[in-house]
Structures are given as C-alpha cells and as structure tokens.
Amino acid sequence: MSIATMIFLGFAVVILIYGILLYNGLVQVKHAVAKAWANIDVLLKQRHDELPKLVETCKQYKQFEQETLQRIIEARSSVHSAREAQDIPALGQAEGALRMGLGRLFAVAEAYPELKTNENFLLLQSRISALENGIADRRELYNDAVNINNVRVEQFPETLLARMFNFTAKPLLEFAAQEKADVDMKTLFG
C-alpha cells in the first residue's frame, strides 16, 4: 500500500470519526429536548389533575365568582389540548391564560374569609403554587435545551449532518404578552 493511500485512508477515518461524534452530539441534544419536555409534561399533568379539585372547592361557596372559575376551566382545557398535541406556541399562550386565571382566582378568594380558611383550599392553593414554580423551572431548562439544540443544528458543519438526518430546530416555550406584563392589582381586586 502506498503512502498516499495510507494518508487518504487515515484522513477518511478521521473524517468518519468526526462525523460520528457530531452525529452523536446531535442525538444527545435532541434527547435532552425530549427529556426537558417530558419533565414539563409531568408537571402539567399533575396541575391538570389538581385544578378540578380547586375549582370544586371554590364552587362550594355558592356566591363565588363563576366567571373566574369558567375562565380557569377553559384555560385548563386549552393547556391540555396544546400539551397533548405538543404544540409549544399554543401551550405558551394557554399557559398565560391559565396563570392569569389562577392569579385572579387567588385574588378573588381573598374576599371569602371562609374559603381562605378552608383546609382543602389552602392545601390545593399551595400545591398548585408549588407546581407553578416547578413548571417555571422546567420551562427554563426546556428552553435551554432547545437553545442548545437549535444552535447545534444551525452550526457548520453540524448543519450538514442535521439536514441529512432530519434533525430540526425546536420552538422555544414562549409566554403570551399579558403574562410578561406587570400585574394590574386594581383589576384583580376590582
């Protein structure tokens, strides 16, 4: 075997190993995104299961604001539909509506002293608040994983492998504009 052939084979082996490392890196970030999404999904499911209990507890107080409860029920349904379809942009909007509804619910509950002291309500309120905090943390991890994925599938030479093996950019979990705006306390208590 000639020296030129050996150099060519050595170069081909180096390129092959480099390609395998790039491919494995793309697989790793793709699965990191999937794992981050699964973590959000678990918390969304838990909150989805807890919200009917909270609404039912509030319904026991006949005069409790039905419009607020209806908004939460509708937002919960929207979140569930977007979660099932893994529609990240729709989920971000539905999450915004649900969080606003929960904020209004907790604010309105302040006007009902017997509800504020109801053990079930307090337990559910703290459970849902903890889930909200967990979801916010998981959203950050998900968006970090998506960012890493998106950078990797767009960088050269990884973009060549990404296109060849159908690795794609993923959408960030973004929030509706009203969720990022300052809370108008006058509206909540009005």
* DSSP result, 142-186: HHHHHHHHHHHHHSTTHHHHHHHTT----------HHHHSPP-HH
What is the pLDDT, as a whole number, of residue 181? 46
What is the pLDDT, as a whole number, of residue 64? 67
What is the pLDDT, as a whole number, of residue 71? 82
Tokens in use for 45? 């499911």
Residue type, 80: H
What is the pLDDT, as a whole number, of residue 182? 47
Tokens in use for 169? 């950019």
Q: Kindly give the confidence (pLDDT) of every residue in the chain, 190 residues in length, as a single tens digit, with 9 standing for 90 and above.
A: 799 899 999 999 999 999 999 999 999 999 999 999 888 888 888 888 888 888 877 777 656 677 778 888 888 888 888 888 888 888 888 888 888 888 888 887 777 777 767 777 788 888 888 888 888 889 899 999 999 999 999 999 899 888 999 999 898 887 765 544 444 444 443 4
What is the pLDDT, as a whole number, of residue 187? 47
Q: Which residue ranges form the domains of the chain, and what is each CATH number?
A: 3-189 (1.20.1440.20)
What is the pLDDT, as a whole number, of residue 32? 94
Rounded to two decimals, the pTM is 0.70
Q: Which of 106, 31, 40, 41 is nearest to 72 (CA)?
A: 106
